[in-house]
């Protein structure tokens, strides 16, 4: 097995994090050292959140998350804060490092029932972290709800208690933290909703865990950032030709539904495709001609004309779906494109067209992948479209990361499961979670723009997973760059700034 470090910023599940802990301890750094560093880091963030003398409440659970809270409590006391500790369960029953931590606190420990949230300037949540194993209920759920109801800021250790580290799902109920501090690497639950929103501002601190452990753990989930795909992205060569940058094709719907194709076409040009052609039914050619300038237009009435056009092998990446219409015409087009092993971004109507027979699409993607020796299909469903192709997976409540991963394997394709926390998954199991973007992206046509940004990377020869990740990232960055008041047309004009920022980022790394 190769032991090279993973490329990208890894996100570790609680199980992988426990393994990171174990491997570090095995290499000679004690668990107590790790917990001491973690607790001190918690106290450091707490001191940024509240002025002396507090008061600060430390809620300590029955495991090592509670251990971190005891260390933080002792450290804050040393700094002069008034600290009270409230424990869940019998503190005498703590074991291992957490028992050491309790001993270091060496002062009164009150029962959780005595905790009154509104009497404090800060609440430190050390009830459960990576070890959360069931839904919060009874006394604990009650405590969480009382804390959330008052205005006292909450600092969660590792995760807001109640948030599952591997999925971001809430088990029972969960703290709504102002800030969350975690250690070494973030977890999927910090990035996936609703966990992401419940964390507030997230701080990740090193506590002595050795990055080398990642070579053994071989994580499969990553932050969607340029560390993951930046080196795979193609930039125009100094003496390059436009054909070196690929020729993307956007298949347009009929005369009354042409806007979606143009949004995709303009985005594809800005995102770096050398040439972009809109394939249009005869009825819509003039509508496109009235609006498009750099993008070209070609009449394409149906399957036989598409087949003829596909003889030009320079047409290497396609978008099918936005405004296209649902039905046999879309299926014929997808089949012809994939049979020729061209890259295809399938969205909207293109996805829905396979609702009755998703397996037919998956088989086409498998064959195209075999023929090209790389994944050829990128699907960009939102939750509703995802459910049409993967009804069984969609019924597993909230487990978005695993849903996307299984769907990608089943469909032999890259699955971009959209949302605030878009997940991009590949058939081999690698997945990325995106964090760029703003709520203003929830507006008509932004999905069409995304297909254009992805197809541009495919046209330039970037492998499908990296192409999809880069497209999703820059789409969100473009929204951030524009700010409030965004409509779909505003995204592509932001790309020059996004590429400028990306180039600077790449130079720095």
Ligand X SMILES: NC(=O)C1=CN([C@@H]2O[C@H](COP(=O)(O)OP(=O)(O)OC[C@H]3O[C@@H](n4cnc5c(N)ncnc54)[C@H](O)[C@@H]3O)[C@@H](O)[C@H]2O)[C@H](O)CC1
Q: Is 63 in the site for ligand X (CB under 6 A)?
A: yes
Q: Is 68 in the site for K ion (CB under 5 A)?
A: no
Q: Is 498 helix (H, G, I), strand (E, B) or coil?
A: helix
Q: Is 94 in the site for ligand X (CB under 6 A)?
A: no
Among ligand X, K ion, none, what binds residue 125 when CB lies within 5 to 8 Å by partner kind?
K ion
Distance CA 211, CA 204 (A): 14
Interface mask toward ligand X for 173-212; x: CB under 6 A: ----------xx----------------------x-x---
CB of 148 to ligand X, least distance (A): 16
Among ligand X, K ion, none, what binds residue 427 when CB lies within 5 to 8 Å by partner kind?
none
Of the candidate residues 125, 349, 448, 466, the single one contacting K ion (CB under 5 A): 125
Measured in whole angstroms, the distance separating CA 205 from the mean position of its chain's CA atoms is 20
Complete edge-to-edge strand list for the sheet that includes strand 179-183? 109-111, 83-87, 56-60, 122-126, 154-157, 179-183, 201-205
Sign of the Cα pseudo-torsion (300, 303, 304, 307, in order)? positive
- Spatial neighbors of 431 by CB under 8 A, at least 6 apart, are 220, 221, 222, 401, 404, 405, 408, 423, 424, 425
Q: Which stretch binds ligand X (CB under 6 A): 125-133, 274-282, 333-341, 462-470?
A: 125-133
Q: How many residues does the chain have?
A: 509
**What ranges make up the beta strands (E) of 173-314?**
179-183, 201-205, 221-223, 247-251, 275-280, 296-299
Please classify residue 327 by burial: count the beta carbons closer than 10 Å to its beta carbon, then call 0-12 exposed, 13-18 middle and 19+ buried. exposed
Q: Is 160 in the site for ligand X (CB under 6 A)?
A: no
Of the candidate residues 47, 157, 464, 498, the single one contacting ligand X (CB under 6 A): 157
Q: Is 128 in the site for ligand X (CB under 6 A)?
A: yes
- Written as six digits, the tokens of 141 are 């759920």
β-partners of residue 64 are none
Return the residues of window 151-170 that contact K ion according to CB under 5 A.
Answer: 156-157, 161
**Comparison of 74 and 177: residue with beta carbon closer to K ion:** 177
Q: Is 65 in the site for ligand X (CB under 6 A)?
A: yes
Q: Is 61 in the site for ligand X (CB under 6 A)?
A: yes
Q: Is 131 in the site for ligand X (CB under 6 A)?
A: yes
CB of 104 to ligand X, least distance (A): 13
- Whether residue 66 contacts residue 127, with contact meaning beta carbons closer than 8 Å, is answered with yes
Q: For residue 163, what is the DSSP state?
A: B
**Comparison of 171 and 363: residue with beta carbon closer to ligand X:** 171
**Comparison of 64 and 203: residue with beta carbon closer to ligand X:** 64
Residues at the binding site for AMP are 418-422, 447
Contact footprint for K ion (CB under 5 A): 125, 129, 156-157, 161
Contact footprint for ligand X (CB under 6 A): 17, 20-21, 34-35, 38, 61-68, 128-136, 140, 157-158, 183-184, 207, 209
């Amino acid at each position: 097995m190769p032991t090279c470090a993973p490329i990208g910023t890894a996100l570790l599940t609680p199980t992988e994090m426990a393994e990171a802990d174990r491997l570090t301890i095995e290499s000679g750094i004690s668990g107590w050292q790790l917990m001491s560093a973690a607790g001190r880091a918690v106290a450091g963030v707490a001191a940024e959140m509240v002025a002396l003398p507090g008061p600060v409440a430390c809620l300590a659970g029955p495991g090592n998350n509670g251990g971190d809270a005891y260390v933080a409590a002792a450290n804050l006391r040393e700094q002069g804060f008034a600290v009270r500790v409230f424990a869940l369960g019998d503190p005498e029953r703590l074991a291992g490092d957490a028992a050491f931590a309790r001993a270091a606190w060496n002062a009164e420990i009150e029962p959780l029932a005595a905790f009154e949230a509104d009497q404090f300037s800060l609440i430190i949540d050390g009830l459960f972290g990576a070890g959360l194993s069931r839904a919060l209920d009874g006394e604990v759920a009650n405590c969480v709800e009382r804390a959330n109801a008052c205005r006292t800021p909450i600092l969660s250790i590792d995760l807001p208690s109640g948030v599952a580290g591997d999925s971001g799902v809430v088990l029972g109920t969960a703290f709504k933290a102002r800030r969350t501090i975690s250690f070494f690497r973030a977890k999927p639950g910090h990035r996936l909703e609703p966990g992401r929103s419940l964390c507030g501002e997230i701080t990740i601190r090193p506590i002595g865990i050795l990055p080398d452990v990642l070579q053994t753990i071989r994580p499969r989930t990553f932050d969607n950032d340029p560390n993951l795909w930046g080196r795979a992205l193609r930039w125009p060569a100094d003496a390059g030709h436009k054909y070196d940058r690929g020729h993307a094709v956007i298949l347009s719907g009929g005369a009354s539904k042409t806007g979606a194709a143009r949004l995709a076409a303009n985005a594809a040009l800005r995102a770096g495709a050398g040439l972009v052609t809109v394939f249009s039914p005869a009825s819509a050619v003039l509508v496109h001609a009235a609006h498009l300038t750099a993008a070209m237009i070609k009449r394409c009435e149906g399957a036989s004309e598409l087949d003829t056009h596909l003889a030009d092998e320079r047409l290497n990446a396609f978008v099918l779906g936005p405004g296209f219409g649902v039905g046999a015409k879309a299926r014929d087009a997808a089949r012809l494109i994939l049979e020729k092993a061209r890259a295809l971004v399938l969205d909207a109507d293109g996805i829905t067209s396979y609702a009755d027979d998703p397996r037919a699409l998956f088989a086409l993607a498998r064959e195209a992948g075999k023929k090209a020796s790389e994944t050829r299909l990128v699907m960009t469903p939102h939750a509703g479209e995802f459910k049409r192709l993967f009804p069984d997976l969609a019924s597993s409540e909230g487990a978005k990361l695993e849903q996307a991963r299984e769907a990608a394997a089943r469909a032999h394709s890259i699955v971009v499961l959209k949302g605030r926390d878009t997940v991009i998954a590949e058939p081999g199991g690698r997945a990325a979670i995106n964090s760029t973007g703003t709520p203003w992206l929830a507006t008509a046509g932004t999905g069409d723009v995304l297909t254009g940004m992805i197809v541009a990377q495919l046209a330039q020869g970037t492998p499908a997973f990296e192409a999809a990740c880069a497209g999703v990232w820059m789409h969100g960055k473009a929204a951030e760059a524009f700010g409030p008041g965004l409509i779909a047309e505003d995204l592509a004009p932001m790309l020059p700034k996004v590429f400028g920022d990306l180039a600077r980022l790449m130079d720095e790394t």
